[in-house]
Amino acid sequence: MRSSGPFDRGLAAMRLLAVILLPLVLAACGPEREFSGIWRQTACGDDLSQPDCGGFVYELHIGRYGDRLAGVVVRYVHDRGGFDSFQRPKECGCFLIESGGVADDEGLLFTLYDAVTPRYPQPDTEDGDLGCPRTRLDECAGRRFDIDGDDEALVGVTDCGEEASAERLDIAFERVVGTPRTECYERRGTAP
């Protein structure tokens, strides 16, 4: 029989350390990545039967930080001709996510910050560059999203919050690859 030498005791200690540290390392890879990224609207309306919400489609640029989230929502004019609606010439408003938006393993709940104040998606945007007339830039005052899902798809509802005429619409998103936007611009060349 072989006696255990310093090498064997060192190997046993490393194994024990790995067993103790592995759960800690895996726990450190928390839910922050879940829901973070870019999400493009795929359907809206009763039973998700429409491709757009009132002529618009939404793109969520989300960063999740524990149980909080931050980001922007870019709205585009829906292209009824079947072309890609998520192109810069079709941008029609950029909105910040209100602080206080929450995220958990079940989903996301957030409201657009100051949605009635039009913001531009890029610093060099002029009114004529937008995909819609400036009069259509504003959003309902309490636009909110309550969505859940997994790493590939989100489904939920959007409405105008406390407004008396708040219409609840079913809405669905899919994850797309890209670098999320982090800001909207109040007027040419100035960030909020």
Percent of the chain with pLDDT over 90: 29
Among residues 10, 132, 3, the alpha carbon closest in space to that of 74 is found at 132
Which region, left, alpha or beta, applies to residue 179 given φ > 0 means left and ψ of -120 to 50 means alpha? beta
Global confidence as pTM = 0.76
pLDDT in tens, 20-79: 543 433 334 444 567 899 999 999 998 899 999 888 899 999 999 889 999 999 998 888
Q: Both tokens of residue 60?
A: 């969520």
Q: What is the pLDDT of residue 48?
A: 92
| 77 in Cβ contact with 90 (< 8 Å) | yes
Q: Under CATH, what is the fold of the domain 31-176?
A: Lipocalin (2.40.128)
pLDDT in tens, 121-173: 677 777 677 777 666 767 788 889 999 998 899 999 998 877 655 678 999 99
Q: Domain residue spans in the chain?
A: 31-176
Helix (H, G, I), strand (E, B) or coil at 9: helix
